[in-house]
Amino acid sequence: MKGILALVFIAILFAGCASAPEKETGTPNQEVSGEPANEPSTQDQNLLGAEATAQQEIDVNNAAAEAPSGADVNVDTAAAAQAEAAAKAKAEQEAAEMAAYRALEKELGISLEDGQDISFGELELVRKLD
């Protein structure tokens, strides 16, 4: 098994070396245009510019994938604030409802509590008899 893996690794390494571009000393364009060998041609510059732009785009995309963007952070903060506001509104509504119940209880002389909570404990006491 190890032998096979080693062979596959060597084959990949060999294939990689074989397909690697040879170090160029000049381009056909340089020879035709007579531009200095160490200066890239206009076409090459365009190509290099396009490559650089593409690389920049890749970098930006990678950065976007790796870290939350400012927009994401803003969305999260907004969602948290919205949830907090909703919870606060709910709590306020419940408090207002309870205040209304208390006032009505006082006015009618009738309890509006359900009074059922005690049953949970009592049922628990007889649980073993099930």
Binding flag, residue 110, other proteins (CB under 8 A): yes
Binding mask 69-108 for other proteins (x = CB under 8 A): ----------------------------x--xx--x---x
* Distance of closest approach, residue 8 Cβ to other proteins, in angstroms: 59
Q: In angstroms, how far is CA 127 from the centroid of its own chain?
A: 48
Binding flag, residue 113, other proteins (CB under 8 A): yes
- The DSSP letter of residue 127 is G
Binding flag, residue 5, other proteins (CB under 8 A): no
- Using CA atoms, how far apart are residues 50 and 44, in angstroms rounded to an integer? 10
CA dihedral 79, 81, 85, 91 (to 10 degrees): 90
Binding flag, residue 17, other proteins (CB under 8 A): no
* Distance of closest approach, residue 123 Cβ to other proteins, in angstroms: 5
- Using CA atoms, how far apart are residues 30 and 37, in angstroms rounded to an integer? 6
Give the nearer residue to other proteins in terms of CB position, either 66 or 130. Answer: 130
Contact 30, 37 (CB under 8 A): yes
Give the nearer residue to other proteins in terms of CB position, either 25 or 111. Answer: 111
* Distance of closest approach, residue 2 Cβ to other proteins, in angstroms: 57
- The DSSP letter of residue 38 is T
